[in-house]
Structure 1
Amino acid sequence: MAERDTSRDIDQAASEWTARLDRGPLSPEQAAAHRAWLDSDPRAKGAMLRAQALSMMSESAQALGDDFDPATFAQPRLPRFSRRQALAWTGAAAAAASLAALGVTSAAAGTVVSTERGEIRLVPLKDGSTVLLNTDSRIRVRYDKDQRVVVLLKGEAYFSAARDEKRPFVVEVNGRRLRTTQAGFRVRKLDEAPVDLLVNLGRVDVSAAPLIGSAKIIAVTSNTRLSLSDPAHISTERPLSIPPQIVTRELAWREGKLAFEGQTLGEAAAQFARYSDTHIQIRDAELAREPVTGLFAANDPVGFSRAIARVFDARLEHGSDTVVLTRPNAAQTAAQ
C-alpha cells in the first residue's frame, strides 16, 4: 500500500508545477501528468491555488527591487495601531489635514468619510484612534466632551480605538451601540445580511440604542464574533469564539487581499464583486460549488480567474467588464 503524501509534499509539488506553468505551456504529456496529479488527492487543488496566488503576488512584489523577499507574502500581515503610533504619525493637526485631503464632507451631525468601490482608506482621528474603511463604505464621525461616536452607515470598517477612560469609543450601527475604552474590531454592514462584529483585540460591549429600551449588554472579547440581529432580539444573541487563523483570514482585506479556505467558487466570485467593476460569471453550477483555497489580490479578479481556470480545467473568456468561467462540454446553464 503506497504511503500517502504529506501536506508538505503536496505543497512542494504544487510549487514545482506552478514554476513549470510559469515557464510556458505544458506539453500534452506534462498536461496529462498535471491533471492526474490534481485528481490524485483532494488537497492538491487547494495547494495549487495557494501556490499560484503566492506566485502572482511575488511577481508583482519583485518590482520593488532586489530586497524583495517572497516569504513576506506567504501570509497576510495584520497592522497593529497603538495610540502612540497613531499620535506620532498624525497629531491633531495632521489628522485634520488628512481628513481634508481625503475629500470628506462635514455636517451638523458630524464628519462623513466614504470610499468608492475598490478603495481602502485609513482615517486618523484626532484622539489617536483610527478607522480603516473597506471598499464602498461610509462612516460619520461625531466627537464631543463625553464620548467619541462613529456611525457606520454602510460597508465595512476596522476600528482601532485609543484608550480614553473618560470618553468611551462608540460605534453606532442599525440601532446598536458598540462601546469600548480600547479595542481593535471589525464591523461589517452589507445589504441583506446581519451586521457582523469581529473583535481581535480588547473588549467591546454591545447594547441596543437608548431609545430601544433593552438594558442587556453583551461582552465580546478577543477572537470572538457576534452576528447582530434586530435590536428587539438582542436576548437571543450569543458571541462565538473563533480560531485566530480565521480572524487573520477575515481581516486580510486590510492588506488588499482576499483569503479563502474552503469557500465555494461562487462565494469567492461574490467577494471579488465588492472590490471591482469586473465581475466573475460562472456558467456551470458544478464549477460554482468547487472549494477554493488561497490568498489573492482583492482588485485582481482576472488573475484569480486565470488561476481557477488552470486548476479546475475551465475555459476563461474576458469581456470589457466580465470574466466568464465555463468547463468544456459542461451544460451552459447560467447558474448565477
Structure 2
Amino acid sequence: MTTNKQKPPDDPHDAAAHWFTREHGGLMTPDERRMFEAWRQADVRHEQAYQEMMRVWSMAKATPDAVFENILDRRPGWTSVMASRRRVLGVGAGAACCAAAAAVLMGPERWLHAPEFSERYLTRRGERRRVDLPDGSMLTLNTDSVAQVRFYRSERHVRLEQGEVFFAVASALDRPFMVDAGLAAVTVTGTAFNVRRDPDHQVSVVVESGSVEVAGGRWWNRDVRRLTARQAVQVDRSAVASEVFPADVNVAMAWRQGKVVFDATSLEAIVAEINRYRTRPIQLQSASLRQLRVAGVFSTDDPDAFLDVLPSLAPVTVLRLPDGRTMITPR
C-alpha cells in the first residue's frame, strides 16, 4: 500500500488546511488518519485551527455561486488576500471574506470537481413540465421557469433562476439536496416541497411532506427557518424572512393540476397571477378595480376562460383590443 509521508506544515492554520484537503478530498489513508488525530490532540491550537477551517467550509457552502464567480473574475490577487486574512478566520466580517476566498482555494465540492450530472431545464409561458432526475428525485416546473441542476458526489444542487418548481426529493441522508433561489436557500435530504421565485425577487417555500431548512437573507447573515409539512415561509425583496406560517397546500400547489384558486382575492393580485400564464398580459384600466374581490377556480391551461367568466363575478367589462391587448374596465 502506498502511504503519503508528507509532513504537514508547522503553522497550525496551514496544517489545518492540509488535513482538511486530505480528509474532504477522499485522499486520507489509514496511516494519515492516525497522524491527523494525533495532530489534533497534540495542541489545543491545532484543534482550534481545524474548527475554524470547518466553520469556513460551512460558510462557503452557504454562499451563493454568484459570490464565488465574482471572486474568480478578480482571481489574480486572491492568494495574497487568503494569506493576509488567514489569521482572522472566524472573526466578524473577516470570516465572511475569508470564507469566500477559502472556497475558491479548496472549495465546496462544486468548485473542486466537475458535476456527475448537469442539466438546465426550462418551460415556456403557460407550460408545465415534469423531469425525472437520475437520483430518483422529480421536478415539476411551472410556467416560465428555469432551473439548473448539478449533482456532485456529496451534494445535489439546483439553482432556481426564475419561476416555480415542485420538488419531490429522493432521500439520501449523506447527500443533501440544496435549492438556491437567490435571497433564499433550501436544504433537505428527502421531502416534497414547492419553491416560487417571483420577478420582484420574493421567494416563497411551501412544504407538502417531510421537512426543510430555509435560509433567508444575504449570504453573510442568513436567517434560518425550519419547516415541516403544511408550513410555509416567505423571503421578501429586502431579504427578510417571515415567520413560519400554516399553508393550504392544496391551494398553493393547485398549479400542478393546471388550476389556480382564489378566495376573495383582489383583482389586482388575480390579474398578476393569470398573467404568468399568458403571452400578452391583461391590464386594469382603472386603479379603482384593484381591490375588487373575486373568488373562483380557474384553469392555467386556458387563462382566457377567466376573462370569459369575470363579468359575471364582478362589475367589469373585458375589452379585447385589435392590437391583441386585453383591458378590464369598470362597468
TM-score (norm. length: structure 2): 0.59
Task: Give the superposition deviation at 1:156.
Answer: 0.9
Partner residue, 1:321: 324
- Please tell me whether residue 116 in structure 1 is matched to residue 142 in structure 2: no
Task: Give the superposition deviation at 1:247.
Answer: 2.0
Partner residue, 1:265: 267
- Aligned AA (1:310): S
Q: Is the 8 A contact 1:205 1:217 kept in 2?
A: yes
Task: Give the superposition deviation at 1:229.
Answer: 4.8
2:249 pairs, out of 243, 247, 250, with 247
Partner residue, 1:224: 231
Looking at structure 1, the residues matched to 164 and 306 of structure 2 have their Cα atoms a distance apart, in angstroms, of 23
Q: Is the 8 A contact 1:278 1:301 kept in 2?
A: no
Task: Give the superposition deviation at 1:264.
Answer: 1.1
Looking at structure 1, the residues matched to 296 and 124 of structure 2 have their Cα atoms a distance apart, in angstroms, of 26
- Aligned AA (2:260): L
Q: Partner of 1:308: helix, strand, or coil?
A: helix
1:145 pairs, out of 153, 169, 176, with 153
The 5 A counterparts of 1:32-43 are none
Q: Which runs of 5+ in 1 are unaligned?
A: 1-106, 329-336
Looking at structure 2, the residues matched to 146 and 314 of structure 1 have their Cα atoms a distance apart, in angstroms, of 56
Task: Give the superposition deviation at 1:136.
Answer: 0.8
C-alpha change, 1:315 and 1:228, in structure 2 (3 Å) is closer
Partner residue, 1:73: none
The 5 A counterparts of 1:167-316 are 167-174=175-182, 176-207=184-215, 212-214=219-221, 217-229=224-236, 237-242=242-247, 246-316=248-318
Looking at structure 2, the residues matched to 121 and 112 of structure 1 have their Cα atoms a distance apart, in angstroms, of 13
Q: C-alpha offsets along residues 148-177 of structure 1, whole Å, 9 cap, x if unaligned?
A: 111111111111101112211111221543
RMSD: 2.8
Q: Is the 8 A contact 1:309 1:325 kept in 2?
A: no
Partner residue, 1:102: none
Task: Give the superposition deviation at 1:198.
Answer: 1.1
Partner residue, 1:131: 139
Looking at structure 2, the residues matched to 208 and 110 of structure 1 have their Cα atoms a distance apart, in angstroms, of 25
Q: Is the 8 A contact 2:154 2:175 kept in 1?
A: yes
Task: Give the superposition deviation at 1:206.
Answer: 2.2
Task: Give the superposition deviation at 1:312.
Answer: 2.6
- Aligned AA (1:248): N
Task: Give the superposition deviation at 1:220.
Answer: 1.1
Q: Is the 8 A contact 1:280 1:301 kept in 2?
A: no
Q: Is the 8 A contact 1:277 1:321 kept in 2?
A: no
Q: Partner of 2:210: helix, strand, or coil?
A: strand
Equivalenced residue count is 217
* Higher-RCO chain (CA-CA 8 Å, sequence separation at least 6): 1
Looking at structure 2, the residues matched to 295 and 310 of structure 1 have their Cα atoms a distance apart, in angstroms, of 14
Q: Is the 8 A contact 2:195 2:206 kept in 1?
A: yes
Task: Give the superposition deviation at 1:255.
Answer: 1.2
Looking at structure 2, the residues matched to 122 and 238 of structure 1 have their Cα atoms a distance apart, in angstroms, of 31
Q: For structure 1, which segment, 213-222 or 163-172, has the greater mean C-alpha deviation from structure 2 after superposition? A: 213-222
Q: Is the 8 A contact 1:272 1:299 kept in 2?
A: no
| Structure number with bigger Rg | 2
Looking at structure 2, the residues matched to 207 and 269 of structure 1 have their Cα atoms a distance apart, in angstroms, of 30
- Aligned AA (2:246): S
Task: Give the superposition deviation at 1:271.
Answer: 0.8
